[in-house]
Chains A and B, each alone.
Chain A
Amino acid sequence: MASKTHVTTTVNGDEHQYLCEPTQTLVDVLRNELELTGTKEGCSTGDCGACSVMVDGVLVCSCLTLAVETDGKSVETIEGMAGGGELTPLQRNFLELNGLQCGICTPGILIAAKALLDRNPDPTESEIRFWLAGNLCRCTGYDKIIRSVLAAAEEMRGN
């Protein structure tokens, strides 16, 4: 067996040092080594988006990222979203507008939606739909997810 590699990754602002196999994915390490199970794994092939995280500010699938690649990098997961104990407008709007049913897709969708709003504070319905096309949801039919993102964007723009 390949020997393990020592990796240092900053996750949600905290530095973590860990050992991992060279082919271990980031989602595996987040969930099983760092016990941050908020990031979900629905397919392991880049097709569902449940594992979405930010690596150095870029939205990626953590199932298609090797943990060793994040050595020296900074990762943001759902656990880091509600900084300082306050829910963000995105999280709050998902709650208030019922943007989640079972909630398994929710962490990935929130991470992806945040990445969108960071780039584009005023997206159209269609822009949101295409941006989130990589995040499958089987429960909601997407309607209330899209509405939650629209409402959060509006709130964040200060309207």
Chain B
Amino acid sequence: MPAILENSGYSPDRKLKVVGTNPVKHDGPDKVTGRAKFGADLIVPGMLFGKILRSPHPHAVVKSIDTSKAEALPGVKAVCTAVDFPEIPQGSGFGDMTRNIMAREKVYYDGHPVAAVAATSESIAKKALKLITVEYEILPHVIDPIEAMQPDAPILHDYLRTKNDDAEDKPTNIVERLAVSMGDIEKGFAEADVIVEREFDSQPMHQGYIEPQGCVASCSEDGQIDLYCTTQGTHVFRDRLSAILKTDSSKIRVSQSEMGGGFGGKTSFYGEPVAIVLSRKARRPVKIVLTRNEVFRCTGPVSGSRSRIKMGSTKDGKIVAAESQLVFQSGAFPGSSHINAAQAMFTRYALENIEVVSREVVSNRPKVNAFRAPCVPQVVFGVEGLVSEMAAKIGMDPLDFRLKNAAAEGYTTCYGVTFGPIGFVETLEAAKACDHYNSPVPEGQGRGVSAGFWFNRGGDTTGSLTIAPDGSVTILLGTSDVAGSRVSISMMAAEELGVPLDKVRAVFADTSSIGNNRVTAGSRTTFSVGMVIVDSARQAIAEMTRRAAEIWDVPVEGVTFEDGEFRPAGANVGDFDPLTIADIATRTSVSHGAIAGHTEMNVTGEGPGFGLHIVDVEVDKETGRVDVKRYTVVEDAGKAIHPLQVEGQYQGGAVQGIGWALNEEYVYGEDGRLQNPSFLDYRMPVSSDVPMIDTVIVEVPNPNHPFGLRGVGEVPVVPTLAAVGNAIGDAIGIRPQSLPMSPPKLLALIDEANG
């Protein structure tokens, strides 16, 4: 059962020494010297190089595969195809998963793996791929999700029937229909003085991590599997590998490298199971590192979407109804997180009447994956456009309009959760007070604002803390570190134990050394692991309290722990010199052994996060090019454990959003092949594309957490697309509805605005 700490111990009056400061992160020195080992950096003796053969067709039946010539090439040690993977029936989650890793009956997208080779060098492996012949029967394909919904569209999966829909029993590309609603939508719109309704579309966005997936797999004759890889979740990888390889989890050990960016994209595996199967056959370690081309063609973007959104407000500024129909593309296999969109799109306003229907659709593109606040920014792009439009129509300041409708503690959301203390109002007020909002919009520019919300997450979390005989502290983590959680968690432990941060180190444990952890995603890690590590520290303190009592020969109640020291609880206990943690720890071998704490929890009690972005842009009216001139992120962190890292999350999220807003997109040719699988043509922002990103950290504590933490990874990207869209709308007179807001599209809008 999801649980919270019985007594979080949160107190606004707690004097903090470590939490809230900006120490150098412990993984930093290795990362500025090249010592840190990422996914592609492991070199082991006897290692082979694996390469994957990929389909050039977006949709085809695999009639036959002949690997004999490749096998005969000197230096080739193993070749594998789908027959080397356990058969799992289609139509189940793992059936889809194994087929995404290696195509079986059909290929479903340009780049879908069909075979793989392990050889003594990369160049031999590449040559061997060319010697494999695959006979395809090419099928008609469909890329666009709306086209994929049409009755005559090519069908990807014969087994697929729409979930939660009473359509007739025949194959379809529509995976699921889901609905979220509250109140009475008709009644709501009947009360509206102003109604706005528009359609919006967004493109899938690649997570764009700079480190391509890389791994080394090594399998022994007795079936043990060792996998080293870059991942957002070692345990999730292990458990899924166990399912698709039909091997006990206990025989699979997954260890993580440093991760060179993930943003959701490394919550799923791609080449890793292939490396394992090749290693099983070759009986040697196999390394697979994806190329950038493979990363773009085959690893997940987040879903693109279509939305029709309708909202109504009274003339004094109360939003009375909100309605939407959504379509999300999930790529070749089901798996879009569109429930997030349905639940979060309007959440932040205290609405009473909501109706959202969302559909998820497969088409011949790579299967989607998570990306920061999966599926939310692209629909907020529409909602926040309409919110600003309504504010303008009734003549209210856009922030005042949002304030008037802001959700607060006690509001029950459309998905049934009643908010505890939240900081949306405080965030809006901080935005209103910030310098950017109070500066006039420079001549020739446009300004936009947008709000955003993310649930924040908890989930399965395990942590362990041990105290060495010298009093220094080691923390074992089973989660990943995307941007500094190791130091943030160490800071919380240091605070709780009253020791200097320098005495604490957090290290990764592999899946065989620690209990399960959910993926590092959804802004859950620093929050959840912080919670379990504080709990572990408290266990260690309790044990040391007992030992102090034993040393002094007093009852346990006679000992208190303060400022890192065990002291007599009162004068009547006796006159003892305080004992430090080191004083007690040093006696482990003459008392009761090592001192440790460990906690396994399915964490809940997460505090929702809210943000408000302000952006100024300049649009070149003759070319449609956009320059982002000024940007401010205002966001509630609950508590910033390490403020510089929190700012970094805000800034990084905003710039990713700017890229998605302006230029990033997937371009498919008529032939169903991806035309821009490179950084050059995918066009992520470079340093000269963006300004400094100003930040305002709001702190409305989440009392369920010992230090009031919420989580800061997702919210920063949520408002960005809409904020940029609103600013462009302000600059050119028409608010764009289609992402990306690239120069050709904007020039067309500008021409339209000029008649």
* A residues lining the B interface (CB < 8 Å): 1, 21, 28, 31-32, 35-45, 47-48, 50, 77-79, 81-82, 87, 91, 94-98, 100-107, 110, 125-126, 128-130, 132-147
Contacts and interface: CB of A to CB of B under 8 A. Distances in A.
Interface stretch (B104-112, B144-152, B680-688): B680-688
B293 to A, nearest CB: 9
B11 interface: no
B265 to A, nearest CB: 10
Contacts of B41: 31, 37
Interface string B685-706: 1111010110000000000000
With most chain A CB atoms within 10 A of its CB, the pick from B258, B289, B647, B652 is B652
Interface string B598-641: 00000000000000000000000000000000000000000000
A133 B652 contact: no
B554 interface: no
Contacts of A105: 210, 260
Contact of A104 (B38, B122, B654): B38
Give 7 closest A-B pairs by Cβ, nearest first.
Answer: A38-B34, A104-B260, A103-B31, A141-B655, A141-B651, A78-B34, A101-B483
Nearest to B644: A98
B651 A144 contact: yes
A138 B679 contact: no
B259 interface: yes
Contacts of B569: none
B94 interface: no
A45 B483 CA distance: 26
A39 B34 contact: yes
Contacts of B291: 44
Given A45-B680, A129-B687, 15 more contacts: A31-B40, A35-B43, A37-B34, A42-B211, A47-B292, A78-B33, A78-B34, A81-B34, A101-B652, A102-B209, A102-B258, A104-B38, A133-B686, A136-B684, A141-B655
B652 A139 contact: yes
Nearest to A90: B32
Contacts of B208: 138
B525 to A, nearest CB: 14
Interface in B257-308: 258-261, 263, 289, 291-292
Range class of the B interface residue count: 35 or more
Given A32-B43, A104-B260, A136 B679 contact: yes
Interface string B42-54: 0100000000000
B482 A146 contact: no
A45 to B, nearest CB: 6
Interface of B: 22, 24-25, 27-29, 31-38, 40-41, 43, 122-124, 207-212, 258-261, 263, 289, 291-292, 482-484, 644-645, 647-648, 651-656, 678-680, 684-688, 690, 692-693
B261 A139 contact: yes
A102 to B, nearest CB: 5
Contacts of A139: 261, 482-483, 648, 652
- Scoring B43, B263, B679 by chain A CB atoms within 10 A of each residue's CB, the highest score goes to B679
Contacts of B25: 95, 98
Nearest to A47: B679
Nearest to B695: A143
Given A81-B33, A102-B211, A136 B686 contact: yes
Contact of B28 (A36, A95, A110, A146): A95
Contacts of B35: 38, 79
A110 to B, nearest CB: 6
Contacts of A134: 686
A79 B263 CA distance: 28
Contacts of B27: 103
Contacts of A126: 688
Nearest to A38: B34
Nearest to A39: B34
A136 B123 CA distance: 27
The listed residue with most B CB atoms (<10 A of its CB), out of A47, A48, A82, A103, is A103
A144 B647 contact: yes
B475 to A, nearest CB: 20
Contacts of A104: 38, 209-211, 258, 260-261
B684 A43 contact: no
Contacts of B687: 128-130, 132-133, 135, 137, 142, 145-146
A102 B693 CA distance: 19
B22 A47 contact: no
A95 B24 contact: yes
Contacts of B688: 126, 129-130, 132-133
B686 A37 contact: no
A76 to B, nearest CB: 11
Contact of B37 (A37, A39, A136): A37
A40 B261 CA distance: 13
Contact of A110 (B32, B40, B123): B32
Nearest to A36: B34
A18 B210 CA distance: 29
Given A95-B24, A98-B22, A141-B654, A42 B212 contact: yes
Contacts of A87: 29, 32-33
Nearest to B127: A1
29 contacts: A21-B123, A31-B40, A37-B41, A38-B33, A38-B35, A44-B292, A47-B679, A48-B679, A79-B34, A94-B28, A94-B32, A95-B24, A96-B24, A98-B644, A98-B647, A101-B648, A104-B38, A104-B210, A110-B32, A129-B688, A132-B687, A133-B686, A138-B208, A138-B656, A140-B648, A141-B652, A142-B685, A143-B647, A146-B692
B11 to A, nearest CB: 28
Contacts of A145: 687
Contact of A98 (B259, B645, B654, B685): B645
A103 B36 contact: yes
Nearest to B690: A142
Contact of B482 (A32, A47, A101): A101
B32 A97 contact: no
A79 B31 CA distance: 11
Contacts of A129: 687-688
Contacts of B259: 102
B322 to A, nearest CB: 31
A146 B259 CA distance: 22
A7 to B, nearest CB: 16
Contacts of A132: 687-688
Contacts of A138: 207-210, 261, 263, 652, 656, 684
Given A79-B33, A130-B688, A136-B684, A102 B261 contact: yes
Interface centre among A36, A100, A135, A147 (most CB of B within 10 A): A100
A101 B482 CA distance: 7
B32 to A, nearest CB: 4
B648 A144 contact: yes
